[in-house]
Structure 1
């Protein structure tokens, strides 16, 4: 074979291989994305909500009955849904949230940028929850959801896991959900890592 022709052939083969190496994955990703598939390997621990969902205006009231229309804006919020009685699993999740907030402070991040919110179904449940939890969880916002059916926190989050935690950004967007799991320490480390990244990168809240 002509040496010049052989060299040209090798050059073309190299070009084809480079194209397959660098362009192929982009084409594959585009095809998968176009067919509704999303990447599952991310650097965050929580489950991303895709697309990010702006929360509707929930009708939340404090234990005294005062409306709190802006509660879930202005700061990062870690939300837990509850009832009038917080059992052992519920209490463990509240403790996890409190410890995570303290760990943010220990990491040099203003822990007041994160608030802990416990949403219960009605005013009576809020009163009962406050009687049980206020002494041990002094910074916890215990609020009643008094909105109409179909427009309540339960309708937004549609919890399949009663111990799940929901992360809301300062603009009122639901970003992530953290579901219950056997390894609570792993959950707390993952939640803390996510929050440290988010709060360091974010200039809001």
Structure 2
């Protein structure tokens, strides 16, 4: 009887150890990335091009509204990273150039692109007149309007990070739903690509 109890305890301990090992296996890459970025240390000695959001800021809870009128929850990303672009209306040629640059960065990530989502918020409560054309050109991107949820929850959070100059900025959101890095308008796409490649590498999504 004692032997059976001991064997059962041993099996439970082994199961617990295996569970902890699995948790560490999946959590370690994220923890490692934060240690590297928040301390500024990396094995190669490289530094990031974007500006770190320190401390990181959780995404607001309010869902947003897509150009098609559907509710969009940016927290629903299956553990992916997110590139979030904020633009002033109208979505003119400069806006389209930024969307094209994001698409090129995304393609250049190769397999890593499967772990990076993209979204753009146009600071207008209504979709642009050419919304269908834009969505058709970039079908795998989420396009959002600045609805009440944006102005009451999202706008104050981003202004707390960037001040008044949020238009034109690109934000990086980690798989845990935290705003962790931002890029100024006009920052070279190659610098964004290098940072994303590094993030995917240290989180083993490459």
The reply to whether TM is greater than 0.5 is yes
Q: Residue 11 of structure 2 aligns with which residue?
A: none
The answer to whether structure 1 residue 90 and structure 2 residue 95 are counterparts is yes
Cα deviation code 1:42-72 (max 9, x no counterpart)? 7101010111111121321223322222446
Q: Please give the alpha-carbon distance, in whole angstroms, between the structure 2 residues aligned to 1:129 and 1:200.
A: 37
Unaligned 5+ runs, structure 1? 1-37
The Cα RMSD (Å) is 2.8
Secondary structure at the counterpart of residue 90 of structure 2: coil
- Deviation, structure 1 residue 191: 0.8
Q: Please give the alpha-carbon distance, in whole angstroms, between the structure 1 residues aligned to 2:150 and 2:195.
A: 33
Q: Residue 201 of structure 1 aligns with which residue?
A: 202
Q: Residue 137 of structure 2 aligns with which residue?
A: 136
Q: Residue 157 of structure 1 aligns with which residue?
A: 158
Any conservation in 2 of the 1:164–1:179 contact (CA below 8 Å)? yes
Q: Residue 21 of structure 1 aligns with which residue?
A: none
Distance 1:180 1:191, change over 3 A: same
Unaligned 5+ runs, structure 2? 1-38
**TM-score normalised to structure 2 length:** 0.66
Matched positions, count: 159
Q: Residue 55 of structure 2 aligns with which residue?
A: 51
Q: Please give the alpha-carbon distance, in whole angstroms, between the structure 2 residues aligned to 1:198 and 1:128.
A: 36
Q: Please give the alpha-carbon distance, in whole angstroms, between the structure 2 residues aligned to 1:179 and 1:195.
A: 16
Pick one of 112, 115, 121 that aligns with 2:114: 112
Q: Residue 22 of structure 1 aligns with which residue?
A: none
Secondary structure at the counterpart of residue 197 of structure 2: helix
Q: Residue 188 of structure 1 aligns with which residue?
A: 189
Runs of 4+ in structure 1 deviating by more than 3 angstroms, as ranges, are 70-73, 147-150
Q: Please give the alpha-carbon distance, in whole angstroms, between the structure 2 residues aligned to 1:58 and 1:42.
A: 36
Any conservation in 2 of the 1:49–1:177 contact (CA below 8 Å)? yes
Cα deviation code 1:57-112 (max 9, x no counterpart)? 1321223322222446432111111345212222221111100000001xxx3312
Any conservation in 1 of the 2:169–2:183 contact (CA below 8 Å)? yes
**TM-score normalised to structure 1 length:** 0.66
Q: Which deviates further from its counterpart, 59-68 or 188-197?
A: 59-68
